[in-house]
Amino acid sequence: MSRIGKKPVVIPQGVTVTADKNLITVKGAKGSLAFEHNWGVSVKIKENELIVEKEGKGKDAPAIWGTTARIIENMIEGVVNGFKKQIELNGVGFRMAVAGKKINLALGFSHPVVVDIPQDLEVAIEGNIMTVSGIDKHKVGQFSANIRALKPVEPYKGKGFKYVGEYVRRKEGKKSAK
Cα distances (angstroms) measured from residue 68 to each of 38, 80, 104, 118: 8, 19, 36, 24
Same domain, 90 and 155: yes
Of 52-61, 99-108, 144-153, the one with minimum mean pLDDT is: 52-61
Q: Is the pLDDT of residue 31 over 70?
A: yes
In a domain, 170, yes or no: no
Same domain, 102 and 59: no
pLDDT tens-digit series, residues 144-155? 999 999 999 999
Three-state secondary-structure class, residue 138: helix
> What's the helix, strand, coil split of the chain in %, to 5?
20, 40, 40
User: Whole-structure pTM over 0.75, yes or no?
Assistant: yes
| CATH number of the domain to which 37 belongs | 3.90.930.12
User: Pick from 178, 147, 174: which is nearest to 163 by CA?
Assistant: 147
% of residues, the chain, pLDDT over 90: 65
* Residue 2 binned pLDDT confidence (cut-offs 50, 70, 90): low
Is-contact 57 35, C-beta < 8 A? no
